[in-house]
Structure 1
């Protein structure tokens, strides 16, 4: 894994549907009209409904599962989120857009025997958009 520091992997494209956005709104209680009311949201600069920023961030597991050549730590039993150093939402994700994840391994260290910590730069790209939807530096721990 240390040899892969600085390398990037890409996921397949995934469509962000209005159904996903509505379910996220129900799960979080965030029913702001820009997410769930297509008619009202069409009158905003977004021109339609957009995904919640936290929905975009929460796509990390889905997008990472769609990376065909992702590095895997042999013998890993589980991975857990440890936190983030920064998260920036740069471009709204319109309902119906396709996104993909770009993952860049920044660091990988053994914290104690059988417990490793990695940091990744996680970027969510929107198909056809000049700027990404989100950039985050995310920390995970892996247990073997």
Structure 2
């Protein structure tokens, strides 16, 4: 998940000088910083992703041996939790696929990402009661911005 958020942030949000510092290992924004920047960006396809990541502080606890893992060692995982985690994982994998399709201008991959994203959105709606995608919604990212080296 963090890798997908970082890739979206690098591709759509980060300024050239920030990317340069990151490449030189002098700067490393954390997941919350990137999610906040994505949320407040004026890119309708991305803002909900940033918002969802910020709401789900539980991810860190699952991934880094936090209290969520300890609780479930004792009581076990409920079926709905497992299904939700799989759906979230699949969704971030589909987002990574959609971004790769944009970066490499790969139309077949873009079509596969869109089909996958649409089916995951519908599964999220029917299984978990999340909002149904509106008519005309597409599981695609906008065109990538053009980067210019300021030097």
TM-score range, shorter chain: under 0.3
Which protein is richer in helix relative to its size? 2
Q: TM-score, normalised by structure 2?
A: 0.24
